[in-house]
Amino acid sequence: MDAAMALTEHLARWLGESRSTPYSPSAFRRRLYGLARQHGLARNEILLDSKAVAVWITRMYLEMAAITYDRIFVPAPLPEKKLVDDFQKLVESAPPPTEEFHQSRIDSPSACRRALEIHGWLGGRGEVLMIGDDDGTALALSLLGDYRLVSLDLDQRVLDWLKAAQPSVEMVRADVSCMPEDLEGRFDAVVTDPVRDTFGLVFLRAARSSLKPGGCFFLADHPDWNPKHRRFLRKLDEWGFVMLDCYKNWHAYPAGLPSEECGDDEEMEWFCRLSHMISLWSHLFVLQAPV
């Protein structure tokens, strides 16, 4: 409960409340929404000025703070310790995430949770393509079943890391907007955590073209951190994909804002500290390609 108390004290400080016990998750969320409204960040507000992006990001962080708080009280399932430890050893040699490729690596329990769900759907067999694999999903899957694994990425550092950690994974260095022909229609399952904007649709198109009819598509995304999320789901629906399941708030990403973005006014300092106390979260969607 230390984390809940720390977040409670942080929020209470801003609201001028004094607290000796943690807020309930619903009280925490209510106060964050109140704070958002006070600052003109209400959900249904139409924003057409240059502040729109900053407002959107602030709103996203407040929502992620509420989810992080919920997850203290109802934690995401913790995979078996040996699996997480084995995976963690493989991640220690991973290259640092870079903005150049929009990278942000999920933590090891999240990567194992993702792999376990994929494994549950696939049952240990088949050919699986990772489109973008800085999270090392292929490595986690290699610890679970006898899969034929292919990781495609534009970042050679990611491919070198995966190859050194698990030589049986096939590496493909390619831009997702120009998929190699030999991947077409070949996979029982495709996994991707796409870029959070219109370019993410290119990841979806690549997944669609690589799947066998009826294949499984595992998509990491979240409506509160991807402004194009609804467009993604509409597109998949148009293509005939069927939603089979959604594991909510399944993956945690680091949320801490870099100090150079934090400025020196009191409001920004409070917000930056909050960002270092929380995680960003994405859901894992399971969809089936048309037969």
Ligand X SMILES: C[S@@+](CC[C@H](N)C(=O)[O-])C[C@H]1O[C@@H](n2cnc3c(N)ncnc32)[C@H](O)[C@@H]1O
Report the C-alpha gap between 123 and 134 in whole angstroms.
24
Give the residue, chosen from 175, 237, 261, 267, that forms a contact with ligand X under the rule CB under 6 A: 175
Instruction: Give how many residues touch ligand X by CB under 6 A.
Output: 17
Give the residue, chosen from 102, 148, 235, 283, that forms a contact with ligand X under the rule CB under 6 A: 102
Instruction: Tell which positions 122-141 bind ligand X, by CB under 6 A.
Output: 132-134
Q: Which residues of 77-103 are buried (b: 16+ CB within 10 A; e: fewer)?
A: eebeeebbeebeebbeebeebeeeebb
For ligand X, the closer of residues 7 and 233 by Cβ is 233
The CB-nearest residue to ligand X is 132
For ligand X, the closer of residues 8 and 282 by Cβ is 282
For ligand X, the closer of residues 196 and 208 by Cβ is 196
Interface stretch with ligand X, choices 12-20, 27-35, 70-78, 100-108 (CB under 6 A): 100-108
Instruction: Name the residue among 28, 29, 6, 38 with its Cα closest to residue 267.
Output: 38
Instruction: Name the residue among 70, 67, 35, 42 with its Cα closest to residue 56.
Output: 42
For ligand X, the closer of residues 7 and 280 by Cβ is 280
> Does residue 196 belong to the site contacting ligand X (CB under 6 A)?
yes
Report the C-alpha gap between 26 and 2 in whole angstroms.
18
Torsion of CA 237, 242, 245, 251, to 10 degrees: -50
Shortest reach from residue 202's CB to ligand X, in Å:
7
> Does residue 215 belong to the site contacting ligand X (CB under 6 A)?
no
Answer whether 153's CB lies under 8 Å from 133's CB.
yes
Q: What angle, 0 to 180 degrees and rounded to 10, lies between the N-to-C axes of helices 2-15 and 25-38?
A: 30
Answer whether 103's CB lies under 8 Å from 97's CB.
yes
> Does residue 101 belong to the site contacting ligand X (CB under 6 A)?
yes
Interface stretch with ligand X, choices 11-19, 21-29, 50-58, 149-157 (CB under 6 A): 149-157
Shortest reach from residue 102's CB to ligand X, in Å:
4
Ranges assigned E (strand) in the chain: 127-131, 148-153, 170-173, 187-192, 211-221, 242-254, 279-288
> Does residue 224 belong to the site contacting ligand X (CB under 6 A)?
no
Give the residue, chosen from 41, 64, 128, 158, that forms a contact with ligand X under the rule CB under 6 A: 158
Binding interface with ligand X (CB under 6 A): 101-104, 132-134, 153-155, 158, 175-176, 193-196
